[in-house]
Amino acid sequence: MDINSFVKQFDVGLDQSKIVKSGKNYFYASQELQDVRSKIKRDVFSLGIYLGCDSGKHFEPSPALIDIISKLAGAEKFRIFVNEKAETLFLYGRNILEESISRNPNNIKEGLVLIQNDKDENLGYGLFQTQGDDVVIKNLLDKGEYLRKESKKKR
C-alpha cells in the first residue's frame, strides 16, 4: 500500500503536486522547497513535513499525516470524539473503550476512525471494532508515539 491508497481509506485526497518521495519516505513540501531541493547537488535527508514511509508491505503514516487528513473536507465522517481521560490514555498508546467516547456523530460501528479530543484536535487514528459485547477502538497511531520512540532511543 502506498500513501495515496492509505489516504483514500478516509475518502480524501492530498495535493499530489506537494507530495515528494525520497527513498521509502514521503514528504509534503511546497513548490518553493521542491525548487530549492532541485538546486542542491546532494541527496536531501528531509524535505517539508514528514508524511510516513513505505515499509514494503504497507504504508506507515506519521502523526502529521493523520493530522492533515483529519482537517480535510470529507474526513469528518470518520471522526470519533473522546473524553479527557481517554485522550490521555490514548496518547500513552492505550486503546479506547466505549464509555470513553464522548461523541460519535456519524454512528460509526467499524473500520478506521480519526480520534479527536473534545476540542476537535486530532490525537491519532484507530480501528473501531467490537470484541464480544465490548466496543473498543484499537490504537493504531497516536501523537505520543514519537516521544515514546525517542525515549527508547536514549536508553
User: 77-134, pLDDT tens digit by residue?
Assistant: 999 999 999 999 999 999 999 999 999 999 999 999 999 999 999 999 999 998 888 8
Same domain, 132 and 105: yes
Same domain, 91 and 55: no
- Which tens digit of pLDDT belongs to each residue from 112-127? 999 999 999 999 999 9
Residue count of the chain, please give it.
155
Q: What is the pLDDT of residue 81?
A: 98
What is the pTM assigned to this prediction? 0.90
CA triple 150-152-155, angle to 5 deg:
115
Residue 66: inside a domain: no
**What average pLDDT score do residues 1-26 get?**
93
Same domain, 34 and 101: no
Same domain, 52 and 100: no
Same domain, 78 and 105: yes
- Which tens digit of pLDDT belongs to each residue from 131-146? 888 889 999 999 998 7
Residue 130: inside a domain: yes
pLDDT of 75 over the 70 cut: yes
Same domain, 48 and 118: no
Question: What confidence category does residue 155 fall into, taking pLDDT thresholds of 50, 70 and 90?
Answer: low
Same domain, 124 and 94: yes
Amino acid at position 22, single letter: S
Q: What is the pLDDT of residue 149?
A: 72
Give the whole-angstrom CA distance, residue 137 versus residue 130: 8
Residue 90: inside a domain: yes
What is the DSSP pairing of strand 96-97 with strand 101-103?
Answer: unpaired
Same domain, 41 and 77: no
Number of domains in the chain: 2
- Which tens digit of pLDDT belongs to each residue from 17-62? 999 998 899 999 999 999 998 898 888 788 999 999 998 889 999 9
**Full residue range of the structural domain in which residue 16 is found:** 3-61
Q: What is the pLDDT of residue 95?
A: 97
Same domain, 82 and 40: no
